[in-house]
């Protein structure tokens, strides 16, 4: 006996396989979007930290701008994400200051970035 078509079972098996492949692809796409958003936030935070370091570098050694402080900076044009930039100054020697910067999103302080800047009286930076 010769069959000229496909049975209902074959169609169901094929549809199940296609559905499994599409589900996996959709989940992969969702993860990629999440990772991209996270990477863009980290890039924005790193850029803000670098800008603060560049702001502090040209200051004279005894400038009060090196004192410990905190800034709240809106991200995304003020759409609700706010970065918190903290810096602490430590006099390691009479001629050397260590400035530690920490930047993070207010809603996720555990996922922040940190950087350090050493300022020397004799070297001028």
Q: Summarize pLDDT for 25-36 with one digit per residue, the tens.
A: 999 999 999 999
CA distances for 56 relative to 1, 65, 71, 87, 123, angstroms:
87, 7, 14, 11, 15
What is the C-alpha to C-alpha distance for residues 61 and 19, in angstroms, rounded to an integer? 65
**What was the pLDDT predicted at 107?**
82
Mean pLDDT score, 12-37 = 94
Give the position of tokens 């044009």: 77
pTM exceeding 0.75: no
Q: Summarize pLDDT for 75-125 with one digit per residue, the tens.
A: 665 567 788 888 888 888 888 999 999 998 888 888 889 999 999 988 866
Dihedral angle of Cα 47, 48, 53, 55, to the nearest 10 degrees: 120
């Amino acid at each position: 006996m010769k069959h000229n078509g496909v049975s209902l079972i074959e169609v169901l098996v094929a549809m199940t396989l296609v559905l499994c492949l599409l589900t996996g692809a959709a989940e992969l796409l969702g993860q990629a979007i999440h990772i991209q958003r996270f990477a863009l936030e980290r890039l924005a935070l790193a850029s803000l930290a670098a800008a603060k370091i560049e702001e502090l570098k040209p200051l004279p050694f005894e400038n009060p701008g090196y004192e410990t402080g905190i800034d709240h900076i809106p991200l995304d044009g003020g759409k609700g994400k706010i970065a918190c930039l903290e810096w602490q100054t430590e006099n390691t020697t009479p001629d050397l200051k260590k400035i530690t910067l920490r930047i993070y999103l207010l809603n996720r302080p555990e996922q922040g970035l940190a950087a350090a800047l050493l300022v020397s009286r004799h070297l001028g930076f």
